[in-house]
Amino acid sequence: MFIGSFKYSVDTKGRISIPSIFKKYVNESANETFVMTRGIVQCIDIYPQDSWREEVLSRVNQLDDFDPEEAAFKRMLFELAAEYKLDSQSRLLVPKNLLEFAKIEREVFILGQNKKIEIWNPDLYEAQKKENTKLFAEIAKQIMQKKPK
């Protein structure tokens, strides 16, 4: 389970260190391999390989390639997707096209999101937070009431 947030830097080669506390939650079956793709907002979603298969591919594989909207979603999801292994210093090479999509230059805001990690431009993350004018209590009530107890 990935929780918490961190501010890190991107090195000149486009590598980002994965917080050491996150590493302990990566299953051996992921083989220190991560899949990255665009987020549903302007950030990068990073999944350990096993979570990618369970959480994303299992749902994507049910989509209908003959449905234009579903096929378009798949194209957008896979267009910028990449798979990389952690290097010996627990850094992940993030492709330039993903960094450009998320408008990340030097600094990153790393956010644990349970089964995935989000990588943000810190300024865009702050702007996203300001856009949501609802109080946490209102959102929690609305969202958590939908889930069975």
Q: Write the pLDDT tens digit of every residue in 111-136.
A: 999 999 999 999 999 999 888 877 78
Task: Provide the phi-psi class of 32: left if phi over 0, else alpha when psi is between -120 and 50, else beta.
Answer: left
Nearest alpha-carbon partner for 99 in 34, 37, 27, 28: 37
To the nearest 5 percent, what fractions of the chain are helix, strand and coil? 40, 30, 35
Nearest alpha-carbon partner for 10 in 77, 109, 85: 109
pLDDT at 148 over 70: no
Nearest alpha-carbon partner for 38 in 116, 102, 117, 128: 102
Domain 5-121 sits in CATH at 3.40.1550.20
As a whole number of Å, the end-to-end CA separation of the chain is 21
Contacts of 6 (CB under 8 A, 6+ apart): 19, 109, 110
The ranges assigned to domains in the chain are: 5-121
| Sign (positive or negative) of CA dihedral 100, 81, 121, 138 | positive
pLDDT per residue as tens digits for the range 78-99: 999 999 999 999 999 999 999 9
pLDDT per residue as tens digits for the range 14-37: 999 999 999 888 988 888 999 999
User: Is 74 exposed, middle or buried, given 0-12, 13-18 or 19+ CB atoms closer than 10 A?
Assistant: middle
Write down the pLDDT at residue 136. 81
In percent, how much of the chain has pLDDT > 70? 98
Write down the pLDDT at residue 137. 85
What is this structure's pTM? 0.89
Question: Is the distance from CB of 110 to CB of 117 less than 8 angstroms?
Answer: yes
